[in-house]
């Protein structure tokens, strides 16, 4: 009985696996582009980040609705209009956005301009939207903005009170009317003219709305609400030549329908309003996928499912590129023959499955053994012990991922998913089944010591919950080398940011200061972690990651240690990165909180000068930035070594304060360096007076400046209690 069940399940599984027509292909132009934001998939020509979208109109920004970093609260927005995107449909050339409704709670005529799409290759869809007016005797209409505002594109008058109005399904209620939207509506003004002579105290509303949503989800209007509206889009002339499909071909040829191509593009007919000749592309019949990507339209296997082809029962279906054919099978249809045939083939099938099944069972048992072995070898038992001896509650925060899940997430650890090489491993970008983008760190080597570092990182990160520290989601011990799974941080490292040419968000003085404060705050938090301080031991600009809003996140806790106060800080080997290592630690092998302060001082020097911590080229006569920085300051040449952006933007006084702080951090004697707490506080004070002077420049009003300062000071004094909260 059980065997039968197992066989049956396996049969179902086999069938499902072999003809899975829903396997999702990549819909982005470059594997380093995000496929999703929140729950919304973002297919090309739309995209998030440079090089991921076809033109400015299609740029999506993925941002959090509040300040939480939780990927569940991320939402996509069309950058040009700042409208939230609900979904994008490539086949229908539509994008659904949240659009505010227009309301008037007075009794006079009121109007609003909807002109953001005037020059866009987008327009309000006539197929999917309705124009709805609500209120008592509300006479609402869509009108032209330019050239003649009296031209009406349509409208309706809502009845009042218990009028038996039955149109559509929701608007069957009272005080509501709806009408169709003209085609290719780019810009219009919504006009409300109440005709109720002040008899109603309700507000009047007029808005476009996704018809389907209106009929199924709409409940009650309120003046501040937004509703889904469907926009149709095409590719604007300026972007057309950037499409990969056009780049590799000839635009004229693509705009001519050719049945032997996998896709075609066309300019919709202009009917009434506006110019909407922006072309859109489609996959040809027999193909599906994304027509804006090279080879994005893939052949449909019509033979995979009976409802996709029209082959007769006794015909055999053969798939061809773009179509299929039905081949007559020429065997005699004699009943007994068929029965014998069926039963023997069933028998054979059963035998095959039996054999295959026992093979699978044996293989599976071996695999389980292997996994167990790896788990032990990778320190799984050690980790379990560590986590359970430290704190029971935290064990649940760390998820143990299984290896299959991660192979799937990274395309079998394909080389084009590699996003970096960390201290002890290679980092891959992956997408979990639930759509979360993660970074997966695969250790390089498995010797005892690296293993220790690995376990260390898991244990330490499982305790830390700070917004400027990269979050560990879990780990996987079932593979040959252990894997760590982190939240994905999208904007690379601070080192890349300082050295690269980011034209969009160049590292301004304000940003440098903010990043310094964030890193200092996180280090202060680690150092002051209530029961046992954590030293990072490898602070450097390549271990500071930047998220989509360029907020700093400290990564790579491989060689960090908890410090039990009663233990000595002696370790046999000096860890760290040349150029950042505290010279005192180098000599004494004694790592203290001040060693992290030194490394942070080097990062500060990098922020000020834009120079690398170690460099054999450039203007310096010494390889180490720390030495160079301190000697330049002592030689009164600070302003000769600063980054030009810093020189341009920052006040001299502020620069000098930060430089002095840097110099103190880089003091050769650990005890003369400030603590991380002092560093964080001093940086905050500098930022505040910076804000105050920005304000002064802007308004020149002393009173305002003072209130700003005192409010801001409250923030500093709350730093301690905030950190304490975080560390519990």
Ligand X SMILES: *[C@@H]1O[C@H](CO)[C@@H](O)[C@H](O)[C@H]1NC(C)=O
253 binds ligand X (CB under 6 A): yes
73 binds ligand X (CB under 6 A): yes
Q: How far is the CB of 121 from ligand X (least distance, A)?
A: 8
Which residue in the set 26, 107, 113, 499 belongs to the binding site for ligand X (CB under 6 A)?
Answer: 113
Residue 342 in 3-state DSSP? helix
567 binds ligand X (CB under 6 A): no
32 binds ligand X (CB under 6 A): yes
Q: Are 235 and 121 in contact (CB under 8 A)?
A: yes
343 binds ligand X (CB under 6 A): no
261 binds ligand X (CB under 6 A): yes
Which residue in the set 107, 200, 277, 727 belongs to the binding site for ligand X (CB under 6 A)?
Answer: 277
Q: Are 437 and 36 in contact (CB under 8 A)?
A: yes
Closer CB to ligand X, 191 or 638, in the complex: 191
Closer CB to ligand X, 260 or 329, in the complex: 260
92 binds ligand X (CB under 6 A): yes
Could you identify the residue written with the tokens 């209620």? 173
Q: Could you confirm whether 547 is annotated as catalytic?
A: no
Straight-line distance from the first to the last Cα atom of the chain, in angstroms, rounded to the nearest whole number: 54
Q: Are 490 and 498 in contact (CB under 8 A)?
A: no
> Which residue stretch of 31-39, 557-565, 608-616, 691-699 sits at the interface with ligand X (rule: CB under 6 A)?
31-39
Find the binding residues for ligand X in span 357-386 (CB under 6 A).
none
> Which residue stretch of 245-253, 422-430, 480-488, 719-727 sits at the interface with ligand X (rule: CB under 6 A)?
245-253
67 binds ligand X (CB under 6 A): yes
- According to DSSP, the residues that pair with 155 across neighbouring strands are 141
39 binds ligand X (CB under 6 A): yes
Closer CB to ligand X, 69 or 562, in the complex: 69
| H or E segment to which residue 385 belongs | helix 380-390
Largest CA distance in the chain: 104
Q: Are 166 and 173 in contact (CB under 8 A)?
A: no
Could you identify the residue written with the tokens 């093979």? 359
- Sign of torsion over alpha carbons 205, 206, 208, 212: positive
CA angle (24, 128, 224) in 5-degree steps: 100
CA distance 115 to 121: 13
CA distance 368 to 311: 45
Which residue in the set 20, 82, 91, 531 belongs to the binding site for ligand X (CB under 6 A)?
Answer: 91
Contact letters for ligand X, residues 118-147 (x by CB under 6 A): ---------------------------xx-
Q: What is the 3-state secondary structure (H, E, C) of 451-508?
A: HHHHHHHHHHHHHCCCCCECCEEEEECCCCCCEEEEECCCCCEHHHHHHCCCCCCCCC
Q: Which of 232, 205, 142 is nearest to 179 (CA)?
A: 142
- Among residues 538, 547, 582, 596, the one annotated as catalytic is 538
> Which residue stretch of 63-71, 390-398, 528-536, 703-711 sits at the interface with ligand X (rule: CB under 6 A)?
63-71
CA angle (482, 487, 489) in 5-degree steps: 115
CA distance 630 to 636: 10
> Which residue stretch of 16-24, 250-258, 299-307, 581-589 sits at the interface with ligand X (rule: CB under 6 A)?
250-258
574 binds ligand X (CB under 6 A): no
CB-based contacts of 337, cutoff 8 Å, min separation 6? none
> Which residue stretch of 217-225, 297-305, 322-330, 546-554 sits at the interface with ligand X (rule: CB under 6 A)?
217-225
Which residue in the set 26, 107, 112, 200 belongs to the binding site for ligand X (CB under 6 A)?
Answer: 112
Closer CB to ligand X, 203 or 705, in the complex: 203
260 binds ligand X (CB under 6 A): yes
Which residue in the set 11, 19, 82, 275 belongs to the binding site for ligand X (CB under 6 A)?
Answer: 275
Q: Are 159 and 165 in contact (CB under 8 A)?
A: yes
Closer CB to ligand X, 52 or 383, in the complex: 52
Closer CB to ligand X, 39 or 590, in the complex: 39
Could you identify the residue written with the tokens 């320190």? 379
How many chain residues touch ligand X (CB under 6 A)?
Answer: 35
Q: Which of 416, 345, 426, 354 is nearest to 11 (CA)?
A: 354
169 binds ligand X (CB under 6 A): yes
226 binds ligand X (CB under 6 A): no
Number of Cβ within a 10 Å radius of residue 52:
20
549 binds ligand X (CB under 6 A): no
Give the catalytic positions in this structure. 538
| Contact residues for ligand X, defined by CB under 6 A | 30, 32, 38-39, 51, 66-68, 72-73, 75, 89, 91-92, 111-113, 145-146, 169, 172-173, 189, 222-224, 237, 250, 252-253, 258, 260-261, 275, 277
């Amino acid at each position: 009985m059980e065997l039968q069940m197992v066989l049956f399940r396996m049969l179902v599984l086999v069938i499902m696996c072999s003809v899975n027509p829903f396997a999702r292909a990549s819909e982005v132009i470059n594997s380093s582009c995000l496929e999703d934001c929140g729950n919304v998939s973002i297919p090309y020509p739309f995209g998030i980040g440079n090089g991921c979208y076809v033109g400015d109109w299609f740029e999506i920004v993925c941002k959090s609705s509040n300040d939480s970093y939780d990927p569940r609260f991320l939402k996509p927005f069309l950058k040009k209009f700042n409208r939230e995107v609900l979904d994008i449909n490539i086949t229908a050339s539509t994008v659904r956005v949240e659009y505010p409704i227009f309301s008037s709670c007075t009794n006079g005529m009121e109007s609003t301009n909807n002109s953001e799409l005037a020059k866009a290759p987008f327009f309000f869809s006539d197929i999917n939207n309705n124009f709805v007016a609500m209120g008592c005797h509300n006479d609402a209409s869509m009108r032209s903005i330019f050239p003649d505002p009296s031209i009406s594109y349509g409208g309706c008058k809502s009845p009042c009170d218990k009028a038996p109005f039955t149109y559509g399904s929701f608007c069957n209620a009272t005080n509501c009317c709806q009408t169709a939207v003209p085609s290719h509506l780019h810009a219009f003004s919504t006009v409300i003219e109440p005709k109720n002579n002040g008899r109603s105290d309700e507000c009047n509303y007029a808005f476009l709305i996704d018809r389907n949503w209106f009929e199924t989800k709409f409940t009650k209007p309120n003046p501040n609400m937004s509703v889904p509206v469907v926009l149709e889009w095409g590719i604007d002339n300026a972007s057309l030549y950037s499409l990969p499909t056009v780049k590799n071909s000839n635009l004229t040829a693509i705009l001519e329908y050719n049945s032997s191509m996998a896709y075609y593009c066309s300019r919709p007919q202009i009917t009434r309003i506006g110019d909407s000749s922006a072309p859109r592309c489609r996959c040809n019949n027999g193909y599906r996928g994304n027509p804006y990507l090279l080879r994005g339209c893939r052949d449909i296997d019509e033979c995979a499912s009976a409802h996709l082809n029209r082959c007769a029962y006794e015909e055999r279906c053969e798939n061809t590129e773009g179509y299929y054919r039905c081949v007559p099978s020429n065997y005699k249809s004699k009943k007994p023959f068929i029965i014998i045939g069926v039963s023997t083939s069933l028998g054979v099938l059963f035998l095959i499955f039996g054999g295959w099944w026992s093979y699978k069972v044996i293989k599976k048992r071996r695999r389980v053994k292997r996994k167990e072995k790896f788990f032990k070898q990778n320190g799984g038992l050690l980790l379990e012990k560590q986590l359970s001896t430290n704190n029971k509650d935290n064990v649940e925060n760390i998820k143990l991922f299984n290896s299959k899940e991660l192979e799937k997430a990274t395309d079998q650890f394909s080389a084009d998913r590699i996003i970096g090489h960390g201290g002890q491993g290679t980092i891959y970008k992956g997408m979990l089944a639930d759509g979360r983008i993660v970074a997966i760190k695969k250790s390089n080597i498995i010797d005892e010591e690296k293993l220790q570092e690995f376990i260390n990182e898991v244990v330490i990160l499982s305790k830390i919950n700070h917004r400027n520290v990269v979050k560990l989601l879990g780990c996987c011990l079932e593979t040959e080398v252990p894997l760590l799974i982190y939240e994905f941080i999208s904007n690379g490292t601070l080192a890349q940011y300082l050295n690269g040419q980011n034209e969009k968000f160049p590292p301004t003085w304000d940003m440098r200061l903010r990043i310094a404060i964030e890193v200092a705050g996180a280090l202060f938090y680690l150092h002051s972690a209530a029961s046992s301080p954590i030293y990072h031991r490898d602070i450097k600009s390549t271990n500071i990651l930047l998220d989509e809003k360029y907020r700093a996140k400290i990564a790579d806790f491989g060689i960090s240690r908890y410090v039990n106060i009663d233990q000595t800080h002696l370790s046999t080997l000096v860890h760290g990165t040349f150029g950042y290592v505290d010279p005192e630690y180098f000599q004494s092998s004694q790592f203290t909180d001040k060693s992290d302060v030194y490394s942070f001082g080097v990062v500060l020097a990098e922020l000020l000068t834009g120079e690398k911590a170690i460099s054999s080229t450039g203007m310096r006569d010494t390889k180490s930035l720390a030495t160079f920085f301190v000697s330049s300051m002592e030689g009164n040449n600070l302003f000769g070594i600063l980054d030009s952006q810093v020189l341009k933007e920052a006040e001299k006084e502020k620069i000098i304060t930060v430089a002095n702080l840097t110099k103190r951090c880089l003091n050769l004697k650990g005890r003369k360096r400030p603590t991380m707490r002092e560093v964080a506080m001093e940086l905050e004070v500098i930022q505040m007076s910076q804000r105050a002077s920005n304000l002064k420049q802007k308004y020149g009003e002393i009173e305002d400046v003072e209130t700003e300062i005192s409010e801001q000071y409250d923030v500093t004094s709350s730093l301690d209690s905030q950190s304490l909260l975080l560390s519990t």
